[in-house]
Structure 1
Amino acid sequence: MQSQVVKITARIAMTLVLAPIFVGHAARADTLKIGIIGPLSGGGAAWGQAAVEAGRVLADETNAAGGLQVGPKRYKVEIVSYDDKYNTSEAVSAYNRLVNQDGVKYVMILTGAATAALKQNVEDDKVLALTGSYTGNTLDKNSHYMFRFYSDPDQYVGPFVDWVKKNQPGRKVVTINPNDETGWHVADVSSRTLTSSGFQVVDKELFERSQKDFQPMLTKVIAMKPDIIDLGSTPPAVAGLIVRQARELGYDKLFTKSGGSGPRDIVAAAGAKAAEGTINVLYADPSNPGYQRLAAAYKKAKGQDGNEIMVPYYDGLNVLLHAIALSGQIDDTSKVAAAFSRALPMKSVQGDQIRLGGMQYYGTNTQLITVNYIGVIRNGAPVAIGKLQ
C-alpha cells in the first residue's frame, strides 16, 4: 500500500468568520492526527491528490500561528494519507492501520465504496469521519460519527437538470455511471429527476471501474441518437476517455457531468476539441480568488493544475478543526460531533455559506450543505456560468 505522510500545523483560515481559535508561537505542541483514505493513484487520483494537498495548503497558511487551540493546550496536526486505489479491501486495510496503528480518531474517506464498507466500523469505533461519498445510504438516522462534507446529488441534481432544461435543446438522455453503489445512486437520482423534468431517459449504462474500451457500449448508445450523454459520477479521467471514444465514433451532441467533477482531467484525456462545450457541476468557481489561492499552491507543489474539489476538502477540514476547538476535547469524538452544530454556519474559502443539514434526506443533521456551480468547458478550461443552491 502506498502511503504518504504530510506533517502539518493547522489553523483556521483568516477568511472565515468564526472567532480565532489559534494561539501564537511557542516552543512545543502536541499532535492531532487526521487520516485520509482515497485514490492517490489510478482513475480517481485527481480527487485523492487534491485532498492531501488541501490539507497541506491549510497547514502552510497556519504554521506561523502555533497550532490548534483545544482547551488549555494547542496541537500540531499531522495528516496521514493512504492510497486505497479505489479498492474496498485496500480502504479497509488503510482504515485499520490508521485506527489501530497510527492512533487516528479523525478520518476523511473519499469514495462511496470505501465509505459503505467502513460505515459500521466508524460508528462502532467512534471515529469521526468526513466522507465524500455519493452513495445514497451513507448517512441515516444511526449516523452519529459520519459527516458528508459537501452537498450530494440529492441536493444539487434537481437545480442542475433545471438549468440544462432552460439552456440546452434536446430531451433524449443516456446516463453512464460506474457499476457500484456510487454509480447506482447517481444514476437513480439523475434518471428520476430527468424524467420528472420532461426528459426521456432512453438508457442507463453501467461500467466496471477497470474498463478502458468503451466503444462497444458507445456504439449501442449512439445508435439510440441521444441529445445528451450524462457521465454522472464517472471519474474525470475515465469520463475524458469516454468523450474521446464517443467523438471518434461520430457523436457530436452534448455531454454533461452531473457528479464527481474534474473538467481539466476530462480535457487531458479527451482533448480540448472533443471536450468543448461539456457542461459540468463544479465545486469551485475558477475565477474566485479563494479558489485561485488554493490552485496556485497546488500547482507550485505538484507542477500541474489541481482538481477544484480542493475547495470542499479544504472547507471540510476547516469545519472539523473548528468543531474540535469548540468542543474543548481532542479525544472525545462524541463531543466533537456535537460541536458541528456550533461550528456552522460558516463561510467557505470562496465566501459561500456552508450550513449543517440533512435531516429531511437522511434523518440526521450530519450533512454539510455547500454551494456548487454550473460550469462549461471552453477552449480547454472550465468556466463557471452559474450557481446551484
Structure 2
Amino acid sequence: MTLNIPRALALLATSMTLSVASAQTVKIGVIAALTGGGAPWGLAAAEGPRILAQEINDKGGLEVAGKKHKVEIVAYDDQYKAADAVAAYNRLVNQDKVKYVIIMGSAATMALKQQVEDDKVVALTASYTGKALDKGSKYMIRLYSPPDDYIGSFIAWMKDNVKGRRVAIINPNDETGWDQTQLATRVFKANGFEVLGSELFERVQKDFQPMMTKVIAMKPDVIELGGTSPATAGLIIRQARELGYDKLFSKTGGAGPKDIVASAGAKAAEGTINMLYADPANEGYKRLAAAYKKARGQDANEIIVSFYDGANVLLNAMQKAGTVDDTSKVIAAFPKALPMKSIQGDQLTFGGKSTYGVDAQVMTINYIGSIRNGEPVVIGKTK
C-alpha cells in the first residue's frame, strides 16, 4: 500500500489539534508593562511563557496525572502602575478564573502580595524589591535571582576591573528604585567605592539634562543606572554624553542593552557595563530570541529567558504535584520541581532562605556584560 505522506501528516496535525482543543485548559496570567518605558520587559514577560505554551501545545499539551492539558497565557497591561496591576489581577482571577499569575513589577507585587496569599493564587514575581518575600510568603515565588543575590559579586567584579571609585546612583522614583538605591549604596561602599549621591526620577520623565548637569558636577567615575528601564537608561546616557560626560555607565539591574543602544546610540553607549540575564551567544537563548522575533517582529529583551524558565518551573511543579487545580499542592511541589536546567543549560535551583527567611525563589545564573560596537558581550558571571 502506498502511503500518502502529505495526507498522513495532515491527519496527524488534525489529531493533535483536536486532542489539545479537547483537553482541559491551564491558564497562566501575566501582569506586566506591555506599553511605555517598561514594555521591553513586559512583552518579554508575556511572550516567554507564550512561546513555552506553544511548544507544549504543539506536542499535545501538558501531561499531569495522565491527562493532557492545553496551556494558555492571558496577559494584561498594568503600565507599571500598582492600581492597574490590581485591576488586571482582579480580572484574571474573577473573570478569567486564573489560578497562576506572573507579576513583572515591584510596585505591582507589593500591591498584590496579601491578595495573592488570601486567594491562594500561585504568583511568580519578577520584583526586585527585597520586601516581596518574607516568612509569610506561602504562595509567592520569585522567578529569578534579583540584585540582593548577585549585586555583591557584580560590584566586586567592578572593583577589580574598572578605574575610579567615585559613583553617582540614578533610579526611578518607585519601589524598585528606592530598594535599588539603598542596596547599591550599601554594596558600593562595602567594596571601597565613594557614593557621591543619588537621584530619583519619575518613570514618565524624558528631559534629564537638569538632573544630569547636577550629577556630572559631582565628578563621578561611574554613573550607576540601577533599575532604570532600558530605553530611559539610553536616554539618560545620550543626554549625559551631550553634556560632556565621558566616563563609565553601569547598570546592575533591569538589563536591556539593545534597547539602551537604540535610545542612546552605539557610540554613546559604548563600554556600558550591565547585568545580563542571557548570553547572546548561547544556542538556547538564540532559539528563544528567534521565536520572539517571529512572533513580535522585533528583537527580544533578553530577560525573556527568566520568564520562559520561570513558567517552565511552574508547569513542572504542576506535574510533580499531580494536579493543575489544587494550588496548595502545586506550591508545595516547587522544591521537587528543582533543580532543573534552564533554556541556556544553567542549573536552576530552589532557595532564598538565607536572604529572605524563606525558600521561595528560583535561583538563577546572571552574566556581566559590556556594550561593544552596539552589541552586548558577556565578560563575566555573577556568583
Aligning the two structures, in what range does the TM-score lie when normalised by the shorter sequence? over 0.9
Match of 2:283 in 1: 289
Match of 1:11 in 2: none
Residues 237-263 of structure 1: CA deviation (Å, up to 9, x unaligned): 100010000000000000000000001
| Partner SS, residue 66 of structure 1 | coil
In structure 1, what is the Cα distance between the partners aligned to 2:204 and 2:59?
44
Give the CA deviation at 1:309: 0.3
Tell me the amino acid that sits aligned with residue 198 of structure 1: G
Please say if residues 25 and 64 of structure 1, whose CA atoms lie closer than 8 Å, have aligned partners that are also in contact: no
What is the CA deviation profile of residues 278-300 of structure 1, one whole-angstrom value per residue up to 9, with x for unaligned ones? 00000000000000001111112
Alignment correspondent of 1:120 = 114
Query: Does structure 1 residue 356 correspond to structure 2 residue 367?
Result: no
Q: Percent identity?
A: 65
Give the helix-richer structure, 1 or 2: 2
Alignment coverage as a number of residue pairs = 367
Structure 2 counterpart of 1:323, which letter? A
Secondary structure of 1:239's aligned partner: helix
1:24 to partner: Cα distance = 11
Aligned 8 A contact 2:248 2:271 in 1: yes
Aligned counterparts of 2:173 and 2:24: Cα–Cα separation in 1? 44
Counterpart amino acid of 1:201?
Answer: V
Shift of residue 220, structure 1, vs aligned partner: 0.6
Task: Pick one of 227, 232, 239 that aligns with 1:238.
Answer: 232
| Aligned counterpart for 1:166 among listed residues 153, 160, 164 | 160
Detail structure 1 runs of 4+ shifted over 4 Å in the superposition: none
Which consecutive residues of structure 1, in runs of 5 or more, have no partner in the other structure?
1-22
> Could you state the TM-score of these two structures normalised by the residue count of structure 2?
0.94
Aligned partners of 2:279 and 2:285 also within 8 Å: yes
Provide the C-alpha distance between the structure 2 equivalents of 1:240 and 1:259, rounded to a whole number of angstroms.
14
Asked whether 1:249 is paired with 2:278, we answer no
TM-score, scaled to structure 1? 0.93
Determine the structure 2 residue equivalent to 1:275: 269
* Contact 1:285/1:384 (<8 A) preserved: yes
| Structure 2: distance between partners of 1:369 and 1:185 | 20
Write out per-residue CA displacement over residues 39-74 of structure 1, whole angstroms, 9 at most, x where no aligned residue: 000000001111221122213322332111111322
RMSD over aligned Cα atoms: 1.3
Q: Deviations over 1:70-103 (max 9, x none)?
A: 1132210110000001111111000000001100
Q: Does the residue aligned with 2:131 lie in a helix, a strand or coil?
A: coil
Instruction: Give 1:42-61 correspondences, 5 Å limit.
Output: 42-61=36-55
Q: For the Cα contact (< 8 Å) 1:182–1:233, is it kept in 2?
A: yes
Deviation for aligned residue 1:186: 0.9
CA offset at residue 209 of structure 1? 1.1
Q: CA deviation at 1:25?
A: 8.4
Match of 1:301 among 292, 295, 306: 295
What is the aligned partner in structure 2 of residue 338 from structure 1? 332
TM-aligned CA deviation for residue 345 of structure 1: 0.8
Partner of 1:32: 26
Give per-residue Cα distances to partners, 1:314-373, cap 9 Å, x unaligned: 000000000011101111111101100000011110011111101111111001110000
Please give the residue correspondences for 1:314-325 in structure 2 after superposition, counting only pairs within 5 Å: 314-325=308-319
Q: Which residue of 1 aligns with 2:57?
A: 63
CA contact (8 A) 2:208 2:236 kept: yes
Task: Return the alpha-carbon distance in structure 2 between the equivalents of residues 126 and 62 of structure 1.
Answer: 26
Q: Distance in 2 between matches of 1:359 and 1:56?
A: 30
Q: Do the aligned partners of 1:25 and 1:66 also contact (CA within 8 Å) in 2?
A: no
